[in-house]
Amino acid sequence: MTLLCSLNAREIVSGLRKGLFSPQELFHSLRERTASLDGEIGAFLSRNKELAPLAEGPLKGVPVAMKDNILAHGMPLTCASKILENYVAPYDATVVARLKQNGGWVPGKTNMDEFAMGSSTENSALGVTRNPWDLSRVPGGSSGGSAAAVASFQTPLALGSDTGGSVRQPATFCGLYGFKPTYGRISRYGLVAFASSLDQIGLFGRNPEDISLLFENIAGYDPLDSTSLREPLRPDRDETPKNLPALAYLALPDEGVDPEIREAYPRFLKVFQEMGYPLEEVRVSHWEYALYVYYVIASSEASSNLARFDGIRYGFRSPAPSVDALYDETRTKGFGPEVRRRILLGTFSLGAGQYDEYYGKAFQVRNLIAAELRDLFSKYPFLLLPSTPDTAFTLGSKSHDPVKMYYSDFFTIPLSLAGYPALSLPFCLSGQGLPIGFQIAAPYLNDERMLRLASRYEGIVGGEETLKKRFNLGDEAFTAPPESVHNKDNQSEEVFP
């Protein structure tokens, strides 16, 4: 059987260079994998039916699925919303352009919570995505489709967006690595804005080296994004084994953390101790306020960013007798309940009578959190902490309680508010066989150093092997050359340039 789908990105690059298979064979193998699995999982909203000629470059042949809020020229761009249901992207996001220039390609667009608002992908107006580990559970969100696609070996890599945790949380729920870079390292040009001061494009992979390979080739200054950082990549500053600095780890809150995650945490920390790092417990006194601050700031920015979806310029338009009624009906029918809730909350917080009390106050607390973290990162090169307070929950179990859902990002949001790079890492499985993962965060611009630490961690923990075992894709699978190329047509697929 052809199991090219089990290859990771580096194996694809080297396999193609050695002539072990062709890009077309890989393309068909992945398409077949999607045809056989994705009816149940629902990771993709649209798929590419043909492989365009590939450029030469370090990513030659590497497929990278895109969350459906990232523009890829000629492909649908829905943000999983009715308001953009039939919209087609008129240009490439910078990340897509750089991917293609370096030889990579986009296999398809993945499902998400509508406009990236949510933690389970259940807020998608266009379909359900299920966790490949257990189909009765959510994949996390909002980049749930990207996580499910990588975990089920439909693509080795995917991009998502992380505003408050939307890459790190679904990565953990699906047993993957999920990386949110330093704010400004990856261009946001061509990412549909949710909360611009927080949004970052993030990367999903089954190992840290694949993530590094993609990151190196899509990151860097972009004049099209005014928040893009001009700083050159930091030179290597790895510690020598003889002189390892102490790492910080976050003290757990007294409640609200799943007992199995609480129990696994010291074992996770021990991996770093065994690498030789001394560990020191730290507390961040304003951490617990971050969630509230985030929902005021992110909703305020969203209420402004989403004003452009008015029925005139983009997508869906509801016919109405007057212009006011047209705006009103288009937005009422076009946006789902969570998006409307955030727009209302944001508009309220920014209102003349409320600004000082809500948006202004939230900004002050954001600064306090940032100052505390700055102090922490002036003393420690890394912070270790949980990634999520619980493991993947069952579909429908939190969708009627938005506040419970918001708590999913308790451990990810503070780092987003301050713009620090952070990475979630798979660690072990729960009693029910669900992935449990943790997080590392680092000072600004220490992205590469953090990824190198993660590579050493993967060498010990073996997250990629665990995934392969779970999905019955053993070692013999990916060394075998393909036997045949299948050309099965799938109705739901389309040809994009």
Residue number, 119 or 446, with CB nearest to ligand GLN: 119
Helix (H) or strand (E) holding 184: none
Residue number, 330 or 416, with CB nearest to ligand GLN: 416
Burial of 354 (0-12, 13-18, 19+ CB in 10 A): middle
Residue number, 225 or 458, with CB nearest to ligand GLN: 225
What span, in angstroms and rounded, lies between the C-alpha atoms of 486 and 75?
Answer: 24
Cβ 76 to ligand GLN shortest distance, Å: 20
Cβ 277 to ligand GLN shortest distance, Å: 29
First CA to last CA across the chain, in angstroms? 30
Q: Which residues are catalytic?
A: 67, 142, 166
Cβ 307 to ligand GLN shortest distance, Å: 18
Q: Which residues neighbour 492 within 8 Å (Cβ) at sequence distance 6 or greater?
A: 46, 47
Residues lying near ligand GLN in the complex (CB under 6 A) = 116-119, 142, 161-166, 194, 298, 409
Nearest residue (beta carbon) to ligand GLN? 166
CA distances from 192 to 77, 327, 355 (A): 9, 20, 25
Q: Hey, which bits of 172-235 come out as E strands?
A: 177-180, 200-205
Query: Which amino acid is present at 330?
Result: T
How many contiguous H segments (helices) and E segments (strands) does the chain have? 16, 11
Q: Which residues neighbour 273 within 8 Å (Cβ) at sequence distance 6 or greater?
A: 279
Cβ 55 to ligand GLN shortest distance, Å: 30
Residue number, 5 or 350, with CB nearest to ligand GLN: 350
Cβ 161 to ligand GLN shortest distance, Å: 6
Is there a contact between 380 and 248 (Cβ–Cβ < 8 Å)? yes
Residue number, 12 or 116, with CB nearest to ligand GLN: 116
Torsion of CA 236, 93, 207, 19, to 10 degrees: -100
Residue number, 12 or 43, with CB nearest to ligand GLN: 43
Q: Which of 126, 124, 117, 67 is nearest to 96 (CA)?
A: 67
Looking at residue 318, the DSSP 8-state letter turns out to be: -
Cβ 365 to ligand GLN shortest distance, Å: 17
